[in-house]
Amino acid sequence: MNETGGVLAAATVGALPGRLVPSAIRHLRRPKVLPGWLVEAAGFALIFLVTRSFLFGNPVVHIDEQFYLFVAERMRDGAVPYVDIWDRKPIGLFLLYEALVSLPFDPVIAYQVGAGISFTLTAMVLTRLAREIASPKAAWLAGAAYVLFMPVFNAGMGQAPVFYNLLVAMAAWGVVDSVKRPEHPPLIWRGCLVMLLLGLAIQIKYTVIFEGAAFGLILLARGFADVWSFKRLAATGLLWIGVALAPTAAAALWYAHMGQLDAFVYANFVSIFERDSDGWKAYWRLAKEVLVLTPFWLAIFLAPRLTAGAGDEQASSRRVIVVWCLAAVGGFLLFGTWYDHYVAPVLMPLAVIAAPALARTAPGERWYGRLLLGFGAFAGIVVMVYQYRQHGSTREYEAMDTAIRQELRDGCLFIFEGELAFYRTTNTCLPTTRIFPNHLNTYVEAPAVGVDPHQEMARILASRPEVILTRAAHEKPYLPNLDTRRMMAEGLARSYERYAALRLGNKEYWLYRPRR
């Protein structure tokens, strides 16, 4: 009701006889209260907007996101992942990005909007799960903890876990709800829906298979408690496995139809096991990650004592969430690389299990929630600011992009070291299918990219790229492949000249062009 209408209504009510006033008031339009779920969603979206706003539109937030966006755009032009552009990520991740960049605005903003929506929805599902073991206020804070902590592990915008976590959280919700329903006839079909969600998540990141196995066993345990026969248990288990693997099987069949099944199998299932270890650095990353999660450990191990006497009705839900957490931790630990964003799937069950300690109001108990949320907010912003300073601003990026374009002409760009986004914004041809810089410039990837890096580097240099981008000589290389680095140095000294030295973030980069 506008201001004029409000005044007229008040005057009309005032002119009515006293006995008619209550009747008149009842007929006035009252303001509608927003539904609770919408208020919760707005809160999570606001946290995302406030903590990530300075990164919106920046094309170099993280090199992984740059790569996913680039592949998605090239797929629209007909490129085939694993064949034309090589990587080991599942095809579902690239298809998801392809859908996001189809939105009618800037592709960088498009995937960041998609990330914001995914963060909001995931936090809402986690809130619903946390209500199984905590108060509504504590449950909402658990969702907020997830949004705040993801950037701490370099998953604050468009990393793969941001998207598949939503599917896994929805599957976990389905499992928790199913376990509470004894002798529920639709259990088989509810399990199929859970497994389909997990199957889609697997096509974004294969480590989801651990959560999938755990959820499948929990659902079968529900069937066992319902006195299912062993024959029925086995048949249902096979059905659920088939549903979970269906998206991956569909992708494999598509590549087989193209005659590229070998490329699909090697990239998706073989290459990951051929990577070399980076030794003590991996253990150092693991130690830091365990330390940074200390606020969760404090909240989780104190929560049972703080919530003692709450009753046994929460026990089954809590057991499911604990098993989920153990499965996520197992998937994180198995591969031994322990990169920071690999922690992201573990944050979901951790946040839910920690929920009972987040809304304590008694003196001496408030600090649990304050420590968890305060540390997450502070550390998340610090990490994102660090990444911003490391990778550079949009203005710095545009300056280097211009410097590349002015020399590119009709030839190809080759990024030996540097931000991969330049392949996308210059719309250059590609001198190799192994365009992710680490695949050719680090020793850990050398045996696991499906080609001999030495031969591939010789072929690239022989094709005489029009522009080559490297870090400045005084910059410390990351896990260097000394062979390809030597070849690059010799090739540049023999046939190229440096024409620009520019800073992007906290690093200096050199641009080379062929000698005329």
Is residue 430 included in any domain, yes or no?
yes
pLDDT > 70 in the chain, percent: 91
pLDDT the model gives residue 361:
60
Of the ranges 143-147, 180-184, 306-310, 406-410, which one carries the lowest mean pLDDT score? Answer: 306-310
Is residue 149 included in any domain, yes or no?
yes
More confident residue, 410 or 51: 51
pLDDT the model gives residue 310:
52
Domain, as residue range, for 445: 394-514
Angle between helices 136-149 and 367-391 (to 10 degrees): 20
Q: Are residues 407 and 365 in the same domain?
A: no
pLDDT exceeds 70 at position 28: no
pLDDT exceeds 90 at position 131: yes
pLDDT the model gives residue 488:
98
Q: Tell me whether strands 413-415 and 507-514 are parallel, antiparallel or unpaired.
A: unpaired
Q: Residue 36 — pLDDT band, cuts 50, 70, 90?
A: confident
Selection from 271, 393, 292 nearest residue 340 by Cα? 292
Is residue 345 included in any domain, yes or no?
yes
Is residue 332 included in any domain, yes or no?
yes
Q: Region 101-112: what's the mean pLDDT?
A: 95
Q: Are residues 340 and 354 in the same domain?
A: yes
Per residue in 371-412, pLDDT (tens digit) is 999 999 999 999 999 999 999 999 999 999 999 999 998 899
Q: Residue 505 — pLDDT band, cuts 50, 70, 90?
A: very high
Is residue 251 included in any domain, yes or no?
no
Domain stops at, among 388, 410, 435: 388
Per residue in 69-86, pLDDT (tens digit) is 999 999 999 999 999 999
Q: Residue 337 — pLDDT band, cuts 50, 70, 90?
A: confident
Q: Are residues 303 and 154 in the same domain?
A: yes
Domain stops at, among 366, 388, 410: 388
pLDDT the model gives residue 8:
34
Angle at Cα 194 formed by Cα 357 and Cα 335, nearest 5°? 70
Per residue in 421-472, pLDDT (tens digit) is 999 999 999 999 999 999 999 999 999 999 999 999 999 999 999 999 999 9
Is residue 201 included in any domain, yes or no?
no
Evaluated on CA atoms 56, 62, 66, 69, the torsion sign reads negative
More confident residue, 254 or 302: 254
Distances (CA, A) of 411 to 89, 158, 418, 419, 476: 28, 31, 19, 19, 29
Selection from 352, 347, 340 nearest residue 384 by Cα? 340
Q: Which residue has the tokens 């032009």?
A: 77
Q: Are residues 27 and 49 in the same domain?
A: no
Burial class (CB in 10 A: 0-12, 13-18, 19+), 329: middle
pLDDT > 90 in the chain, percent: 82
Q: Are residues 299 and 425 in the same domain?
A: no
Q: Are residues 431 and 499 in the same domain?
A: yes
pLDDT exceeds 90 at position 128: yes
Q: Residue 172 — pLDDT band, cuts 50, 70, 90?
A: very high
pLDDT the model gives residue 24:
39
Per residue in 236-265, pLDDT (tens digit) is 999 999 999 999 999 999 999 999 999 999
Q: Residue 15 — pLDDT band, cuts 50, 70, 90?
A: very low
Q: Cα–Cα distance between 434 and 489 in angstroms, integer?
A: 19
Selection from 406, 401, 512, 422 nearest residue 465 by Cα? 512
Q: Are residues 16 and 123 in the same domain?
A: no
Q: Are residues 9 and 85 in the same domain?
A: no
Q: Are residues 346 and 409 in the same domain?
A: no
Of the ranges 5-19, 230-244, 284-298, 411-425, which one carries the lowest mean pLDDT score? Answer: 5-19
pLDDT exceeds 70 at position 16: no
pLDDT the model gives residue 59:
96
Is residue 183 included in any domain, yes or no?
no
Domain stops at, among 363, 388, 413: 388
Per residue in 272-287, pLDDT (tens digit) is 999 998 889 999 999 9
* Number of independent structural domains in the chain: 3
pLDDT exceeds 50 at position 491: yes
Q: Are residues 353 and 441 in the same domain?
A: no
Q: Tell me whether strands 467-471 and 507-514 are parallel, antiparallel or unpaired.
A: antiparallel
Q: Are residues 59 and 171 in the same domain?
A: yes
pLDDT the model gives residue 289:
95
pLDDT the model gives residue 35:
83
Residue 142 in 3-state DSSP? helix
pTM of the entire predicted model: 0.91
Mean pLDDT of the chain: 91
Per-residue tokens: 342: 């690999």
Q: Region 157-173: what's the mean pLDDT?
A: 97
Q: Are residues 301 and 424 in the same domain?
A: no
